[in-house]
Amino acid sequence: MTTQHVSDSSFEDDVIKADGPVVVDFWAEWCAPCKQIAPALDEIASEMGEKIKVVKVNIDQNPSTPSKYGVRGIPTLMIFNGGEVKSTQVGVNSKGKIVDWIEESI
C-alpha cells in the first residue's frame, strides 16, 4: 500500500469513516521538511499497510481540513481512529521515531 492524496471533499470518507487508524500528513509543495519525510512515510505505508493507512493533504490545495484541525505548522502528522484525532506530531522526525509514535498511538 502506498500513500494516497486526499482532499477537503474526500477527507470525510477517506479518513473519518475509514476502518482502522489513518496517519494524515498535512504538507505543502514548497515545504522542504515535508519533502524530507515523504520517503519515510511512503516506506511506512508499504511496510505497515495491514495496520494503518497513510494519506497526504496538501494544505495549499485543501485549506478547510487543516484549518478545522488547527494545523499551524507543517509537516503535521495526525493519527485518526474512529473519526477522532488520537495523536499529533509536528515537525521532522526519523522514520524510526515516526514508526514508534504510530505504534504507541494505535
**Residues noted as catalytic:** 31, 34
Amino acid identity, residue 55? V
Strands laid side by side in the 4-5 sheet: 4-5, 53-58, 22-27, 76-81, 84-90
Task: Report how far residue 51's alpha carbon sits from residue 78's, in angstroms, rounded to the nearest whole number.
Answer: 15
